[in-house]
Structure 1
Amino acid sequence: MATSASPASSDHDHYSPHLERTIQAVNWTALAAIAVDIYQASTFTWGSQLHGASNLVRFLKLHSNEDVEVVIRVPYAQEEGIDEKEMELSRLAMESEVATMEYVSSHSRVPVPRVIAYNSSSDGGGIGSPYMIVSKAVGTPLCSVWNEMQDEQREVVLRQVVDIILQLSSLRFDRIGAIFKGEGGTDHSPWTILPLTKISSSEIWTIWPAGVDKTFTSAFDYWIAYATCNIERIDRNNFGSVKDYDYVCAWLHRSLIPSLYNTSLDTKGFPINHSDFHSQNILIDDVDTPSPRITAILDWEGTSTAPTTSFAQYPLFIVDHPFWDDDHLLKPRNMRDQATFNRLMREAECRLDPDGGLPLSQAFEASHGVYLFEQLVSFPYWMGGQLFHPFFEHFFGEKETDKEPFSWTYYSTMISGPLKDKADQFKNETIVRREAVEILGEDLVVFKLTRSQFKALSLQNLDKFPSGGEVEKWLDSKYAIE
C-alpha cells in the first residue's frame, strides 16, 4: 500500500499552536488505513488541508478501480492537563453530532455528508485523537461566491434554503437538548434528547453556560434558565470589578423573555436547529449557471433542538454583521435578500399548509429582536459593545445620540431601586479588592477571581490584612457566605 507524507506544517506556523500539536499527535498512516480498508483501496494520497477554530480537516484520495475522496476531521489536540470531564464532553459532542447527521439524513432530504467511520474516544482507538471520516460533497462554499451572485441567482439559492429550513422545522422532538442515538432511547425509537451541558463546557462561548444539566420542555424555562446563569456568572466572577451595569443589563434581558418567545409555535415539539447555518457551511454547485444548487450542509457540531422562536431566525449570511458601520455597502442587499426570503417562506409555508396560517413566516419576519437578545445573552463579552445600542433602540426606541438615553435611565432606576443592595455590594467589593491588591499584589489578586476564590485567598493570607480593615470586614459580612 503506497502512502503519502504527513501533512506539512511550515505554512501554518502563524496559526494556533493547537494545529502543530494535532499534526504531531495523530497517526495519519493508521487513520488513512481505516479508510483504505473500508473502501478496499489499493493506494491513497493525501489531498489539501484546512483548519478552522476547533478542527483540522484533511482530504484523502483513495485509489482503486473507482477513485474516491473522503474528508477526515480531527479536533485540535488539547494542552496537557485537560481533565476527564472535558474529555468526556468532547466525546459526547462528537456522539451527538454523528447522531444528528444520521437522523437528519434518514428523516429528510437535507443534503448531509455521510459519516463513514468515527471514534469519539480521546485516543481514537490508537489513532492519537478522536476522528470522523465523512463523504466528500461536491461544490464550493457559498461564502466564496455569494457576494458576486446576481439577485436572481441568490433568489434560487434562498428558495433552496427555505426548503431546507422547512424540512428541519418538521423534525421535532418533545424537549430542548442535544440529539443522541442509543443512550436513553426506547424500544420504539433509538433517538433521545439529553441535556446540552453534556456537549458543552465553557461558560460563554458555547451553547450553554455551565450550571444547568437538564432538558427543557418550555422556551420560557430554557431562556430564563440561560439568562439566570448569566446573572449568577456576573455576580460570582471577576470579584471587585465594576460590573453593576452588566448586571442590570442581564436582569433586563431576563425580563424581556416572556415578550419574545411564542410558545404556541412549539405545540408540535422543538425543531432541529443547526448551530452555525452560515454560508461557509453550505456547499453549492453550478455556480456559473442561472440555477446554482446546494449540495451539502456541513458542520453539525453543537446542533440541538431549540424553541421554534429561536429556530426562526434569518440565515446569518443575509444578516448585517454587528461590526458593520451604518453605511456598509452590503446592508441594502441584505435588506433585499431578507424581503426575498420572507416572500419565499410565505409561499412555501402556504403550499405546505394552505389553511394553517403563516406562523413560521411571521416568526421569521419578527425575528430581529430575538436575534439581538440571543446574541447578547449567548455572547455578552463579544457582542455587548456592538449590539448594546441597537438592542435598546429596537426595544425602546432609544437613539445612541439622545442626550438622556433610556438605557441610562433604566440603569439608574434599577441600581437606586430593585437592585440597590446588589449595586452597593459590588461597590463595596471594589473597595475590598483594592485593599487586597495593595497588600498582596496583582500577581495574587488576579482580575478573574470568583468570589469564593477571593475568599479562599483572603483566608490564606488573613494575618497580612489590618485588623478592622476592608477585607476583614468583608469576611465577616453576609456577602462572604456562599
Structure 2
Amino acid sequence: MASPSVSSTSSSADSRVQTTFDLVNWDNLSSLACTFAQLPQGTGCHWEDQFSGGYNLVRFLHLHDPQKTVIVARVPLRSEGAMNEDHDSAISKRVESEVVTMKYIETRTAIPVPHVFHYNARAEEDVRSPYILMSKVDGVPLSSVWDDMNDDRRRIVLQQVIDILLELWSHRFDKKGALFDGADGSLCVYSSSLFVDPNETGTRHRLLTTSYSHAADYWLAYANTQLRDIDESNFGSDTKAYIHSQAWFMRSLIPALFDPSIDVHGCPLSPGDFHSQNIMITDINSSHPRITAIIDWEFSGPDFVSSFAQYPLFIVDHPHWDKDHPLRERNVRDQVIFDELILEAERNRNLVDNLQLSRLISDSYGIYLFHQAMYFPGMYPSVYPPLFAYVFGDDEDFSTDYYWALMENGILHKDKKRFEQEREVWLEACRVLGEEAVNVNMTRTEFKDLVSKSRERFDNEGSVCKWLASSQ
C-alpha cells in the first residue's frame, strides 16, 4: 500500500487545526480506511482537501481503486490546553452519539446522510484521536448557491427541506437529550451535557444533565439558575442591577412563550445545526435542484417541540443585520413560501391537527429571539430591541425606562438596594486592600473569603464589617 501524502498546511488561523493535524497519525488512519473499504493488498491512497469548522478537522482520502472512492475522515479539533480526561470523555461521547444518530437516520428514515464505514470514539494508540470514516456525498453546500437561486428553485429546495423536517417531526422520544446505544443493544436517550465545554460550569452545562418534561420547566430552571449565577458573580459590579433586571424580564416571558401541552407527545429528533452549509445539493443549474444529504449530525438528538419548530436558519434574519439589510425582504418571501408549502404537505399527509408543525413554526419568532438571547448573551444588543418590540408591540425601545421602573419602585426594588449596598462594600474593600487585590470578577464567595481574612483592617462601623455580620 502506498504511503499517503500528507500536507501540513492549513488555511485556517485556528491554532487547534495545526495541533489536531500534528496529533493524528494519518498514515494509520488511511490504512484503517483502506482496510474497511476492503481494497486489495497494495492498493494506494492519498490525502487531498481538508477544511475545519467549529469542532472538527475534515480530510478527504482518495483511494486508488477502480471506482476512485473518496472517504471522508473527520476528527475532533483539540487544543493544547484541553488534553485531559474530562475533555477526552466529552469528545468520545460526542462522537459516539453522532454516529448512533446518523445510523438511526440512515436505517429508520428516508433522509439521506453519509454512510459511516467505521469510527472510534476513543483516542487509541494507532490513530491517537477519535475519528469517523464516512462516505463522501455528491453536491455542494446549499450555502454556496442559495443566494443566487431564483424563486422557483428556492421553492423546490424548501419543499425538500420540509419533507425532511416532517419526517424528523414524526420520530418522538420521551425526553430531551442525546442518542446512545444501550448495553442491551437498544436505543437510549441520555440527558446530556454534550453541548458545552466540560470545563464550563455555567447554567447550560448544569441543566443539561437533568431531565425535564417540557420546555417551560427547562427554561424556568435555566432562568432561575442564571439569576443565581448573576447574583453570585462579579461582586460589587455597578451594572449588576441592570443585568439582573434583564434576566428577570427574560424569565417573566417563559409562561407566555412556552406551552407545556405541546411537549406531551415527546421530543422530535432535532438536527444540531440545520443550516445551509450542512445541506448538500446537486443539479443546481437544472429546473429541479436536489438535496443529496444532510451532513454534520453532531450535537443532534431529541429536543423540545419549541426548539424544533423553527424556520430553517438560512431563511431567518440574523440578529446583527441592519434594518435595511437586502436579504430581509427575500427572507420574508421565503418564509411565506415555506408556510404555504408545509401546510400543503401536512394536508397531503393528513397531519392537520391541534399540533401542526406549520402553525408552530409560523408563530416561532418570539421563541427564536428568546433562544438567541439566552444561549448567546453576546447577542443582547442586537436581540433585545426586536424581542422587546415583539413583547410590547411597539417599535420604540423603552426598555431602559421599563427596567428602571422595575428597580426604582417595582418588584426588583429590594434587589437593586442590595446590589447598591454590595457596591459600597466593594468600593470600601478596594480603598483598604487596593484595587489589585479586589478585582471586578470576584464571586461573592471569593470576595467574602478575601475580606474575612483581612477583617481587622476594616472599620467596625464600615460597610464591609456590617455586610460580613449580615451575611453570616
TM-score normalised over the length of structure 1: 0.90
Q: Is the 8 A contact 1:200 1:207 kept in 2?
A: no
How far did residue 170 of structure 1 move? Answer: 0.6
Paired residues for 1:21-420 under 5 Å: 21-41=19-39, 42-80=43-81, 82-121=83-122, 123-182=123-182, 190-197=186-193, 199-201=195-197, 208-211=204-207, 213-241=209-237, 242-353=239-350, 356=353, 359-380=356-377, 382-400=378-396, 405=398, 408-414=401-407, 416-420=409-413
Indicate the residue corresponding to 2:415 in structure 1: 422
The aligned counterpart of 2:3 is 3
- Deviation per residue, 1:246-270 (Å, 9 max, x gap): 2112122222212212333333211
Which whole-Å CA distance do the structure 2 matches of 1:306 and 1:440 have between them?
Answer: 49
CA distance in 2 between counterparts of 1:126 and 1:296 reads: 31
- 2: CA distance between counterparts of 1:35 and 1:415? 66
Superposition deviation, residue 422 in structure 1: 2.0
CA RMSD of aligned residues (A): 2.5
Of residues 439, 444, 447, the one that matches 1:451 is 444
**Residues 464 and 40 of structure 1: is their aligned pair in 2 closer, same or farther, counting only changes over 3 Å?**
farther
Supply the AA of the counterpart residue of 1:36: C
Cα shift at 1:102: 1.4
TM-score by length of 2: 0.92
CA distance in 2, matches of 1:365, 1:152: 21
Residue 346 of structure 1, CA deviation: 0.1
* Offset from partner CA, 1:371-420 (integer Å, 9 cap, x none): 1111111112x21010111001001023235xxx2552244224533222
The answer (yes or no) to whether the contact 2:319–2:382 under 8 Å persists in 1 is yes
Which deviates more, 321-330 or 230-239?
230-239
Shift of residue 224, structure 1, vs aligned partner: 1.3
How far, CA to CA, are the matches of 2:372 and 2:229 in structure 1? Answer: 17
- Match of 1:328, SS state, is coil
Tell me the distance in 1 between the aligned counterparts of 2:291 and 2:202: 28
Distance 1:358 1:221, change over 3 A: closer
Seen in structure 2, the aligned counterparts of structure 1 residues 357 and 214 have a Cα distance that, compared at 3 Å, is closer
Identical aligned residues as a percent:
40
Q: Which segment is superposed worse, 95-104 or 330-339?
A: 95-104
The structure-2 alpha-carbon separation of the partners of 1:334 and 1:65, relative to structure 1 and needing over 3 Å to count, comes to: same
Secondary structure of the structure 1 residue equivalent to 2:206: coil
1:50 Cα deviation after fit: 0.3
Gaps in structure 1 of 5+ consecutive residues? none
User: Alpha-carbon deviation of 1:198?
Assistant: 5.1
How far 1:208 sits from its partner (Å)?
2.9
Stretches of structure 2 lacking an aligned partner (at least 5 in a row)? none
Tell me the SS of whatever aligns to 2:204. Answer: coil
Residue pair 1:120, 1:131 contacting (<8 A) in 2 also? yes
SS at match of 1:395: helix
Q: Which deviations, in whole Å up to 9, do the C-alpha atoms of 1:308-358 show, x marking residues without a partner?
A: 122111000000011111111111100000000000000001111165366
Deviation at 1:159, TM superposition (A): 0.2
CA shift digits 1:86-117 (9 cap, x unpaired): 33222212221111111122211111112222
Change (3 A) 1:389 1:203: farther
**1:19 aligned residue (12, 17, 20):** 17
Count of aligned residue pairs for this structure pair: 468
In the TM superposition, residue 129 of structure 1 has moved relative to its aligned partner by: 1.9
